Amino acid sequence: MIRIGIEAQRLFRRKKHGMEIVALELIRQLQQLDKENQYFIFVKDDEDRDCISETENFKIIPLPGLTYVDWEQIQLPKAVKKYHLDLLHCTCNTAPLKLDVPLVLTLHDIIYLESVSFSGTPYQNFGNLYRRWVVPRIIKKCSKVITVSQYERKCINQTLNLSGDLVQVVYNGISSNFRSIRDQDLISYREKHKLPEEFILYFANPAPKKNAFNTLSAYRHYVDNTEYPLPLILADTNTVFVNQLLEKIKAEYLSSHITVIEFIPFTELPYIYNLASLFLYPSKRESFGLPILEAMACGTPVITSETSSMPEVAQNAALLANPEDYMSIAHQLIAYFAKKVSQELLIKEGLARAKEFTWQYTAQKVLQIYHHLSTKNELSANRNRHRTYV
């Protein structure tokens, strides 16, 4: 039996994003797959305590912490010692610098090492600086690094001058909740948010890599050159940010075509994907791009980027555009709605591609890593130090 710690600091936050969703789905699948080893899930207390439950061999442990850094660098190492762990898996890019046990790190991306930008929110800017400081220091202390695409593995190895098999690719999965829905709940959701019969969906996160400026510029061109343009639903953003962008691109008149939904809970995402006529995801840089597959699984055609990991994930099941050129994005929008591409084929290829990614497979690959490390001397030496467990 291995005593495994999993860092999931932000698991209980109400507004979950990519990394928290990945951690949540991984833990849920490990609960189904592994009834033998003992797990300790370390979280920071927050609103969404019911997102996961303890099982016989999975204990959820809230840890205090004045700040993110205090929680990770001070409180988490204390808990590792207290619970006599054999290994620790940190799931969100960073980890404690001082540990006495083998470390598995999920390094989703290293965008913050490739360039320095202060155009995000203060929280995003601090997070990028912290990761920029921690990651190079922690990476070579890891027993195994997990990343989410071959593209990102190449970036990590080149940027941090790594070689060999330290970094292993384990693709993300998609929940079975993402599927084609044809029931009354879909109608209720449309009425709840006053959504039009047809619309384009875009997650306009203010992070620079999400490419909101070029995407709205592309939408402006589409509207100006289409007789009956579809409205645009902007999610994961706020009205102030959107209005500022519209002013920058001199397109305030587009506000009548746009609806802003600040946050969509993870449980509601399948409904808005199903209702959307098209999903726009022309990000400048992604390590994976989970929303691409989520939309495909719901039978929604996708326009995404021809850069970084997105062609690897989408393959031939999406339309690709140059994210740095708003006219490239606009061209794909206009071509799609002019039916210059086969919409039926895109939907079919998307549904097939999405089926290739499951959280069960992701958890199986991660469990293999745990088992591999458990056979190495580095775990056996740690295990011999702890004869009495709490």
Domain with CATH 3.40.50.2000 in the chain: 3-173+358-384, 184-354
Structure tokens at 298: 């719901």
**Beta pairing class for 87-90 and 103-106:** parallel
pTM comes to 0.89
pLDDT at 341: 82
Given this model, what pLDDT does residue 384 score?
A: 52
pLDDT at 114: 85
DSSP string, 335-370: HHHTT-S-HHHHHHHHHHHHTT-BHHHHHHHHHHHH
294: how many CB neighbours lie within 10 A of its CB? 24
| Cα 83 to Cα 157: distance, rounded to the nearest angstrom | 33
Give the pLDDT score at 266.
87
At the topology level, CATH places domain 184-354 in Rossmann fold (3.40.50)
Q: Enter the DSSP assignment of 273.
A: H
CB neighbours of 183 closer than 8 A, spacing ≥ 6? none
What are the φ and ψ backbone dihedral angles of 23, each rounded to 5 degrees?
A: -60, -45
Report the pLDDT value the prediction gives residue 120, as an integer from 0 to 100. Answer: 60
Distance from C-alpha of 104 to C-alpha of 367, rounded to nearest angstrom: 11
- Predicted confidence at residue 389, as pLDDT, reads 42
Q: How many whole angstroms separate alpha carbon 368 and alpha carbon 33? A: 11
The string of pLDDT tens digits covering residues 206-224 is: 888 999 999 999 999 999 9
Q: What's the CA gap between 296 and 127, in Å, rounded?
A: 31
Interior angle at CA 92, CA 91 and CA 97, nearest 5: 90
pLDDT at position 183, please? 82
Residues of the chain with pLDDT under 50: 385-390
Q: 189: which 2 tokens?
A: 């959701």
3-173+358-384 adopts what CATH topology? Rossmann fold (3.40.50)
